[in-house]
Chain A
Amino acid sequence: MSVKYTPVQWNRNKWIYDAVMLAGVAAFLWVFLYVTPEVLNHDRAINPQIHNARAFGACAFVMLTVILCIGPAARLDKRFLPLLYNRRHFGVMTAFVAITHAGYILNWYFNFSSSDKYVGLLYANSSFGQIAGFPFEIFGIFALVCLLILAATSHDFWLKFLTPPVWKRLHYLIYAAYFSVAAHVSLGILQDQQNHLFTVVFMLGAAAVIVLHIAAWLSERGEAAAKDGAWAKVAPVGAFRDGYAKIAKLANGDRVAVYLMEGKLSAISNACAHQNGPLGEGKIIDCLVTCPWHGFQYDVRSGRSPAPFTEMVPTYRVRIEGDMVEVHPDANPPGTYVEPVPIPTPPSSEGVTA
């Protein structure tokens, strides 16, 4: 939501976020590159180019693991939501780390021959019909291409150009990249390791990603199952607090945010038009709900951003059945005004926990 185009809208939180992530990456690389050679104490050291390639490759894997853990962690515990805030920058960092790994590999293992190194990368090993000795480099190439696509389209320009649903689907490539990296590691370095500590760390990382995603899915499936029906149940009237929302997951998977504002209920889509941020986590400020991710604002009665901005989100019909607030699963076109539904008895100023 902007009337003046600014390529990157920096603020203090973004600087802190990026500084923390950079510090983590620097810590990983510094320890791997400069501390562990002393610990290894080999009679003849690993070639610096191979040591560097391993450091950057391992770092890219760990970074990808962290990136994929942030999402489900935030779905399970909202306090992790700020870690989602600038995750795209961490993703771009990962692409740079991965391409550095690829550069070391290409300029060492595939260099110094009579053929072009890029050609050599593709033809040197053609044992596609076997597991042990499979040209695992192909998985690394695929993952790198995915990461570069994601990094190149991470800017808001592409979000606007492609539209949020398409952009979001495109960025599911991160999962393909992760599986490809897992195959790359499993068929490559893990086949050679005599010391299995690396294998254990690798498996713990991959297991964390899988377990967190399953836990988040089970948690949300339980919530959705509890809210099935023509009119979806949201929460008892008494559970609402003025200025905040309750989120309902519809049978079709969409999420609806139902707000209580000045004693009346209104419902809009939970997905912000900017980056699908969770509007239901937002707070109503000056009669407008503010997205927690990037501060986009919407009038909860119409789903429209205040002038001169033009963003709109779908609205939903709300009703109260007995003590239960319900929302109709059919979305209104974005920007459609819906008359707020007053609640019978305003809740106490202390609010009530659901």
Chain B
Amino acid sequence: MSEKPFFVGYLPAPGPLRMFLLAACVLLIAGLGTAGYLMGAAQDDPGPGAFRFDYGRQTVTGVIEMTPYPVLHVVEGNDRIMPGDSFMMTAAGKSGVDSRAMPLNGQLAQVSGIVLERGDLYMMQLRGGRNGLRAAEGDVPEIPTEPQGRWQLSGEICDGKCLAGAMRPGRGLAHKACANLCLLGDVPPIFVSTQPVLGSEFLLITGPGGTRLPRAAYDYVAQFITAEGEITKRGDLLVWEIDTDTIEVTE
């Protein structure tokens, strides 16, 4: 019988066992490094959304409309944001600006903040207090509202801010709890359609009759669903009144 190498914890490892252990240690370290590479390199592209700090602070004037989520229809723009544009607004963090915007519903207001941009999805994170949103003087133009009929759409309910670039990635099931927190904090919800709808991939979602997104829809946030509802074009923004009774999860 050959002498089996015998390891005693407080003594140096025997010669034959030493080589085996050396090989095991090298393999362990190399294996962990390789696993780190494979798992790290397998991460998906988080998409093009981002805070556009490179644009600098943007200040424009427009008409506030509560859809019920606050939207600004631009009247006086600048070199980036043109008159006729419509965009959603949020506050810093996972909060909306409903309490500040509500008293100005239907009125002219000046807004100031940082833009979040993802393709044709535009959103502005307003500065705090009156620096971010205040009443402005001037005539209030009529904002066109064009019903587009009832549509069945497939896609995903997201919170508009993370999707627009506050978080990368800002959608998907791993992000569901964060999205729910944003929606509970009055950040506008967005539907990401699998196919462009009337030229747009993103639609602001509300409940039926212009109510807030029903709580029943929160269970479906970040899942691929099919649902029906009326689409209305407000300014240049599409608003989808989702009928929660028609929501179906798709594989």
Contacts and interface: CB of A to CB of B under 8 A. Distances in A.
Interface stretch (B2-10, B62-70, B136-144, B205-213): B2-10
A133 B37 contact: no
A51 B40 CA distance: 9
Given A133-B219, A133-B223, A292 B38 contact: no
Contacts of B25: 20
Interface stretch (A189-197, A209-217, A336-344): A189-197
Interface string A47-72: 10011001100110010001000000
Interface string A189-209: 101111111100100010000
Interface string B23-59: 0110011111101111111111111111000000000
B1 interface: yes
B173 A188 contact: yes
A85 to B, nearest CB: 5
A290 interface: yes
Give the 5 A-B residue pairs with the shortest CB-CB distance, closest first: A36-B40, A112-B93, A27-B33, A28-B36, A192-B172
B178 interface: yes
A75 interface: no
Contact of A110 (B42, B49, B177): B177
A132 B40 contact: no
Interface stretch (A119-127, A166-174, A218-226, A259-267): A119-127
Nearest to A51: B43
B177 A295 contact: no
B173 to A, nearest CB: 4
B95 A114 contact: yes
A50 B40 contact: no
B36 A46 contact: no
B221 A28 contact: no
B37 A11 contact: no
B197 interface: no
B73 interface: no
A28 B35 contact: yes
Contact of B38 (A21, A124, A189, A201): A201
Interface size grouping (class) on chain A: 35 or more
B17 interface: yes
B1 A198 contact: no
Contact of A113 (B5, B7, B94): B94
A100 to B, nearest CB: 15
Contacts of B169: 46, 50, 192
B9 A292 contact: yes
A161 to B, nearest CB: 22
The majority secondary structure among interface residues of chain A is helix
Nearest to B17: A79
Given A83-B24, A124-B178, A192-B172, A133 B42 contact: no
B82 interface: no
B28 A12 contact: no
Contact of B39 (A30, A58, A120, A353): A58
B10 A13 contact: yes
Interface in A89-107: none
21 contacts: A11-B10, A24-B28, A27-B30, A33-B40, A40-B45, A43-B48, A45-B46, A47-B46, A81-B7, A83-B24, A110-B177, A110-B178, A113-B94, A114-B95, A124-B180, A127-B218, A133-B173, A133-B176, A189-B174, A195-B43, A197-B41
A42 B176 contact: no
Contacts of A66: 28, 32
B43 A40 contact: yes
A337 B178 CA distance: 65
B37 A32 contact: yes
A30 B34 CA distance: 11
A31 B37 contact: yes
B181 A113 contact: yes
Given A109-B167, A191-B174, A295-B8, 4 more contacts: A27-B32, A82-B13, A124-B184, A132-B173
A350 B178 CA distance: 69
A110 B162 CA distance: 13
A293 B12 CA distance: 13
B144 to A, nearest CB: 34
Contact of A124 (B20, B30, B50, B181): B181
Contact of A195 (B44, B177, B221): B44
A125 B183 CA distance: 11
